[in-house]
A and B are shown apart, each in its own frame.
Chain A
Amino acid sequence: MQRSDPILEVKGLSVSFLQYGRGMRQQLLNVVHGLDLAVSEREIIAVVGASGSGKSLLAHAILGLLPYNAHMEGGCRFRGEPLDEARLRRLRGKEIVLVPQGVSYLDPLMCVGAQLNGGEKAPDSRRRTRESLARYGLGEEVERMYPFELSGGMARRVMIAAAVRNTPKLVIADEPTPGLNPEAARRILGHFREIADEGAGVLLITHDLEMALTVADRVAVFYAGRILEEASVADFMQEETLRHPYTRALWRAMPQNGFQPLAGAQPYAGEGQEGCLFASRCPLRSAECTKEPPVREIGNGWARCFHAGERGKADGFDSGTNFVPV
Chain B
Amino acid sequence: MAAFALVALSPIDPLQANIGQVALGSMSAEQVARLQAYWGVGQPLIGRYLNWLSGFLRGDLGVSLLYRQEVSQVIAEKCANSVWLMGFAWCVSGVLGIALGVTAGVRRGRFSDRLIRGGCLLVSSTPAFWIALMALIVFAVWLGWFPIGLSIPIGMDAARVSLADRLHHAALPALVLSITGIPNVALHTREKMVEVLESDYVLFARARGERTTQIVLRHGLRNILLPAITLQFGAIGEIFGGSTLIEQVFSYPGLGQAAVAAGLGSDLPLLMGIAVISAVIVFGGNLAADLLYGVVDPRVRKGGAHR
Q: Which residues of A contact B (CB under 8 A)?
A: 60, 63, 65, 67-68, 89, 92-94, 97-98, 100-102, 104-110, 115, 118-119, 146, 148-149, 159, 162
Contacts and interface: CB of A to CB of B under 8 A. Distances in A.
A148 B299 contact: yes
B111 to A, nearest CB: 16
B68 to A, nearest CB: 54
Contacts of A118: 205, 208-210, 214
A104 B198 contact: no
Given A109-B297, A109-B298, A148-B299, A98 B207 contact: yes
Secondary structure at the B interface, as helix, strand, loop or mixed, is helix
A106 B218 contact: no
A98 B200 CA distance: 12
Contact of B299 (A67, A89, A108): A108
B109 A68 contact: yes
A104 B299 contact: no
Given A109-B297, A109-B298, A92 B222 contact: no
Interface in B191-211: 198-201, 203-211
B299 A146 contact: yes
Nearest to A145: B302
A92 B303 contact: no
17 contacts: A63-B206, A68-B109, A100-B204, A101-B200, A104-B200, A105-B203, A107-B201, A107-B218, A109-B222, A109-B223, A109-B226, A109-B297, A115-B205, A118-B210, A118-B214, A119-B214, A146-B299
Contacts of A65: 203, 206-207
Contact of B200 (A100, A119, A148): A100
A42 to B, nearest CB: 22
B30 to A, nearest CB: 72
Given A97-B207, A109-B226, A146-B299, 17 more contacts: A60-B203, A63-B207, A68-B108, A68-B109, A92-B207, A92-B208, A92-B209, A93-B209, A98-B204, A100-B204, A102-B200, A105-B200, A105-B204, A108-B223, A109-B225, A110-B218, A159-B204
B207 A93 contact: yes
Contacts of A109: 222-223, 225-226, 297-298
A100 B203 CA distance: 9
Interface string B213-235: 01000110011011000000000
Interface of B: 108-109, 198-201, 203-211, 214, 218-219, 222-223, 225-226, 297-299, 302-303
B307 to A, nearest CB: 13
A184 to B, nearest CB: 21
B213 to A, nearest CB: 10
Contact of B302 (A63, A89, A115, A149): A149
A24 to B, nearest CB: 18
A97 B208 CA distance: 7
A92 B205 CA distance: 10
Contacts of B226: 109
Contacts of B210: 93, 118-119
A108 B298 CA distance: 9
Contacts of B223: 107-109
Give the interface centre of A60, A107, A118 by most chain B CB atoms within 10 Å.
A107
Contacts of A98: 204, 207-208
Contacts of B299: 108, 146, 148
B203 to A, nearest CB: 6
B190 to A, nearest CB: 15
Given A105-B201, A149-B302, A110 B222 contact: yes
